[in-house]
Amino acid sequence: MRVLAHASRPQLERAWAAWDAKPEVEAIRGPEAGLVMVRGRVGAGGDRFNLGEATVTRATVRLHGVPMTADTVGSAYVLGTDLEHAWFAAAFDGLLADEQLRERVLNDVIAPLERGQEHYDNDRRAEARSTKVDFFTVAREHA
């Protein structure tokens, strides 16, 4: 679910287009946009406080038809207001719930997405580390 939530809508859309033998996807709830109040902690470790809201889209779908062993239900919550984004994520979540298809989804969809996200994180981290600085004070430190 974490990998699906982090994947962008175009990534999921491409993965869905590449997925053959698509099951019937029936909307149970949504996709619908709403808000989640983001909380922080006072001083980072103290009482909780309400920082501000974030837009979130959720979808719950029922998958049935040809490739499915049995009907499954998939759910997704993603940041933003792109309804399709949540729909694709929910559809893959439903596929993951199918015992026969789970392995294939993990190998063909989740693993490449995860590798992409790791790659992106490593690049960002390397860029950030390039700005690591060693300050030294001009005053004598061991006077």
Give yes or no for a contact between 105 and 96, defined as CB atoms under 8 angstroms apart.
Answer: yes
Give yes or no for a contact between 95 and 88, defined as CB atoms under 8 angstroms apart.
Answer: no
**CB of 125 vs other proteins, minimal distance in Å:** 7
Give the orientation angle of helix 9-18 with respect to helix 111-129, to 10 degrees: 150
The contact set with other proteins (CB under 8 A) reads 1-2, 5-6, 32-56, 58, 60, 75, 77-81, 121-137
Q: Among residues 21 and 46, whose Cβ is nearest to other proteins? A: 46
Give yes or no for a contact between 98 and 72, defined as CB atoms under 8 angstroms apart.
Answer: yes
The encoded tokens of residue 4 equal 């699906």
**CB of 40 vs other proteins, minimal distance in Å:** 5
Q: Among residues 51 and 111, whose Cβ is nearest to other proteins? A: 51
Q: Among residues 20 and 135, whose Cβ is nearest to other proteins? A: 135
**CB of 28 vs other proteins, minimal distance in Å:** 11
Q: Among residues 8 and 22, whose Cβ is nearest to other proteins? A: 8
Q: What is the C-alpha separation between 64 and 4, in angstroms, rounded?
A: 20
**CB of 20 vs other proteins, minimal distance in Å:** 28
DSSP 3-state assignment of 128? Answer: helix
